[in-house]
């Protein structure tokens, strides 16, 4: 169901956040009423046979009081923010005031931040009400979402499979209607991959436009920002992503007195007609499984049929094999101790950064000829839980064989390590009924373009968000 096109389902938890917010403002839906409905969704999703386990911590007493205040504000005709009264969850890697925030690590099992991360504070100022935290892997360092504190999160389309990582609980919560929207993190695909595997929309912003202070990626984390890492919204429609981006984009607090960030709008992107699209689907050095490939090619056909000018052969002038350099930069940014073998010397990091800047320049030149690039989100669709071993030893099924776990990072790293904005849009399902997402990539800082095109792509493919089986009554 694409909430911007199709008839709305009867259950408001499955509406997109834009529709929910309008209904609350107009008095057709109560904030506390929506919270209660979301809690019913949570109970259903956590029952047999689904056991989704997306939410790991709740703060219901304070949230309920805030929802009642939100409903009173509507009745009194008070000024309302764009997210007024929307009950939400937040990925447990992001600091939330007064709520246990662990990063999925036992060392932070009792960690209660005294202040919100700036991004969370912005959501609250816009009217959102945080009632829970969502599950993730330890330190957000996985393609799956499990940890010693809270166990395993299951995919809402098939509980035997992962929802992706690291924002797996976040994407599952949005897919299930448990949260109006989510705030996740993405350094190597951690918003885009779970969004794809759970059948929802996710956006990795241009690097640096949303503060990532308050990110819990190591025991002393939160006070600094890491290379490549971004915070990004997960939602049930592209228009939700655009609304949330407007709320979240801002300078860090130390720059706020002097700096304003105004991303270019995409108001002229109303149709795929005439849009210049580079379709980078097949790449020998970054293979994707056949079930996914067929869905993506059908999506490209639909984009072309909608009037876009599609080039299936054009590629940026970069060596695709250099995705591994992006992965090394990501690895350095996520290392959590001085004993970790991944950290680089600063001199070596600078050399790799210079090479990255050359690749970024090539991307910029490429975008002089194309409005967007569409490409895979990752290598495979949601795979069965695989928790034995580690990154260096684990593999996952791939077209009758296996593929190294590390190679799941190829497509996300190619885009993310170049600081580019990318929107993951649901474009269809495999024959086995598993959702497939596509990345829509736009030039640096042109986030609104990738989001706008993603919405049009969803419409062209007759895809977008569909409620997963665990939401059926």
Residue 398 has pLDDT above 50, yes or no: yes
> Using 50, 70 and 90 to split pLDDT, how confident is the model at 325?
confident
User: What's the pLDDT at 430?
Assistant: 98
- The answer as to whether 341 is a domain residue is yes
- Region 409-419: what's the mean pLDDT? 93
- The answer as to whether 2 is a domain residue is no
Arithmetic mean of pLDDT over the chain: 94
Within 10 Å of residue 117's Cβ, how many Cβ atoms?
Answer: 25
- Region 113-131: what's the mean pLDDT? 98
- For residue range 435-451, list pLDDT tens digits in order: 999 999 999 999 999 99
Residue 67 has pLDDT above 70, yes or no: yes
Catalytic residue of the set 101, 145, 166, 196:
166
- Region 210-232: what's the mean pLDDT? 93
190 belongs to the catalytic site: yes
Residue 6 has pLDDT above 70, yes or no: no
- The answer as to whether 251 is a domain residue is yes
User: What's the pLDDT at 276?
Assistant: 98
Residue 342 has pLDDT above 60, yes or no: no
- The answer as to whether 212 is a domain residue is yes
Catalytic residue of the set 101, 190, 335, 450:
190
Residue 280 has pLDDT above 60, yes or no: yes
User: What's the pLDDT at 298?
Assistant: 98
Write the CATH number for 465: 3.90.1300.10
Least confident among 118-122, 141-145, 229-233, 352-356: 352-356
Place of tokens 């580690």: 390
- The answer as to whether 1 is a domain residue is no
Residue 3 has pLDDT above 70, yes or no: no
Residue 50 has pLDDT above 70, yes or no: yes
Residue 337 has pLDDT above 90, yes or no: no
- The answer as to whether 342 is a domain residue is yes
- For residue range 171-201, list pLDDT tens digits in order: 999 999 999 999 999 999 999 999 999 999 9
- The answer as to whether 422 is a domain residue is yes
Model's pTM, two decimal places? 0.96
User: What's the pLDDT at 7?
Assistant: 64
User: What's the pLDDT at 334?
Assistant: 67
- For residue range 343-362, list pLDDT tens digits in order: 678 888 888 889 999 999 99
> Using 50, 70 and 90 to split pLDDT, how confident is the model at 339?
very low
> Using 50, 70 and 90 to split pLDDT, how confident is the model at 2?
very low
166 belongs to the catalytic site: yes
- Region 47-74: what's the mean pLDDT? 98
High-pLDDT (> 90) share of the chain, %? 87
- The answer as to whether 3 is a domain residue is no
91 belongs to the catalytic site: yes
Nearest to residue 360, comparing CAs of 414, 321, 312, 398?
414
User: What's the pLDDT at 391?
Assistant: 81
Question: What total of structural domains would you count in the chain?
Answer: 1
What is the domain extent for residue 306? 12-471
Residue 90 has pLDDT above 50, yes or no: yes
User: What's the pLDDT at 166?
Assistant: 96
Least confident among 228-232, 235-239, 319-323: 319-323
């Amino acid at each position: 169901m694409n909430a911007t096109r199709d008839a709305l389902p009867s259950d408001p938890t499955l509406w997109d956040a834009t529709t929910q917010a309008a209904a609350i403002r107009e008095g057709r839906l109560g904030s506390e009423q929506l919270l209660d409905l979301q809690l019913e969704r949570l109970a259903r999703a956590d029952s047999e046979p689904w056991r989704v386990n997306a939410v790991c911590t709740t703060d219901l007493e304070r949230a309920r009081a805030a929802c009642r205040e939100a409903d009173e504000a509507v009745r009194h005709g008070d000024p309302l923010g764009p997210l007024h009264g929307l009950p939400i969850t937040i990925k447990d890697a992001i600091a939330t005031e007064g709520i246990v925030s662990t990063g999925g690590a036992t060392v932070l099992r009792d960690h209660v931040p005294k202040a919100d991360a700036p991004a969370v504070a912005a959501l609250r100022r816009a009217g959102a009400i945080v009632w829970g935290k969502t599950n993730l892997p330890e330190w957000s360092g996985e393609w799956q979402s499990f940890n010693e504190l809270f166990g395993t999160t299951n995919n809402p389309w098939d509980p035997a499979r992962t929802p992706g990582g690291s924002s797996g609980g976040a994407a599952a919560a949005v897919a299930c209607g448990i949260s109006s929207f989510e705030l996740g993190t993405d350094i190597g695909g951690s918003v885009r991959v779970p969004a794809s595997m759970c059948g929802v929309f996710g956006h990795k912003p241009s690097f640096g436009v949303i503060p990532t202070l308050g990110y819990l990626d190591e025991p002393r984390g939160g006070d600094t920002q890491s290379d490549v890492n971004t915070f990004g919204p997960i939602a049930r429609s592209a228009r939700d992503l655009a609304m949330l981006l407007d709320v979240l984009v801002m300078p860090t607090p130390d720059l706020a007195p002097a700096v304003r960030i105004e991303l270019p709008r995409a108001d002229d992107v109303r149709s795929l007609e005439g849009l210049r699209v580079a379709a980078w689907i097949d790449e020998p050095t970054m293979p994707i499984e056949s079930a996914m490939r067929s869905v993506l090619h059908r999506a490209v056909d639909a984009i072309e049929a909608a009037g876009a000018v599609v080039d299936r052969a054009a590629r940026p002038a970069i060596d695709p094999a250099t995705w591994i350099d992006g992965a090394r930069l990501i690895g350095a940014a996520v290392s959590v101790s001085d004993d970790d073998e991944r950290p680089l010397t600063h001199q070596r990091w600078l050399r790799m950064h210079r090479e990255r800047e050359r690749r970024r320049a090539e991307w910029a030149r490429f975008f002089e000829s194309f409005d967007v690039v569409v490409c895979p989100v990752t290598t495979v669709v949601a795979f069965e839980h695989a928790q034995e071993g580690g990154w260096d030893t684990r593999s996952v099924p791939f077209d009758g064989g296996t593929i190294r776990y590390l190679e799941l990072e190829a497509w996300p790293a190619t885009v993310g390590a170049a600081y580019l904005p990318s929107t993951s849009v649901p474009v269809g399902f495999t024959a086995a009924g598993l959702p497939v997402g596509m990345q829509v990539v736009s030039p640096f800082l042109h986030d609104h373009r990738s989001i706008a095109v993603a919405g049009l792509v969803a419409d062209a493919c007759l895809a977008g968000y569909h409620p997963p089986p665990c939401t059926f009554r």
